[in-house]
Structure 1
Amino acid sequence: MQLSNIIALFAAAVATGVQAAPNAALTERQALISYIRFYGGGGCQEPWIEDTVLQQSDTCQPQTFTGPYGSFAVQSNSFTKTIRIYTAAACGTGNYIDIKPGQLGCFAGKITSFSFL
């Protein structure tokens, strides 16, 4: 065996045995998200227009997608707190929808901002 083959074999053996330690902060951030899809119709009918990910936080967050849509569907929800989605105004006023941790489903209306209770 040539020296270069031995070195390559050793490097391959080392590389397959090395694993990165999990990053606790990354795992924690990924765990508190919800995947939302926006639909043109009022009952989550096609066309599917856009999607976004909402992340749990301690502050009022604006919804950045402002295109025309009639409903949204919560496709996944790993929040630990109830999310309050405001459909008519910024956080604290107007109409809102409360979605509990783990709750999925279709909701009519728009999201202008959201916060957690």
Structure 2
Amino acid sequence: MLTLSPTQWQELAKHEAANFCDAVTNQLLTDRPEMASVPGRQVISNRMRSAYTYAWELGYSSTPHVTKLMYLAADAPEFFREPNIDKQLRKPGYPPEQRLDDYLAAVNYTIKGMKAWQP
């Protein structure tokens, strides 16, 4: 049986996180190739890695939710660091994935209300 030291586990986790972020970045750029040139692959990758780190800090365990947060960050860099949004996403008593779902539901409701209001 293979036994890894804590340092080796950390390196393995870091490598897996980088591979995951690269895969999600590649997926986004396949869906939206125009972003590869503006703002550019490296910028998108950095935004997505930042979102991944944030999701990890909050304890996300759902890959679709981590991916959703990363996709949002590609268009709205560091949006989750906005104080009111960060406060909502860190609200105690709920799983972090539910807090993201609730936040996005409120945003979608607001957008639909704005569209209905337009003359």
Q: TM-score, normalised by structure 2?
A: 0.29
Q: Larger % of helix: which?
A: 2
Larger radius of gyration between Structure 1 and Structure 2: 1
User: Which structure has the highest strand share of the two?
Assistant: 1
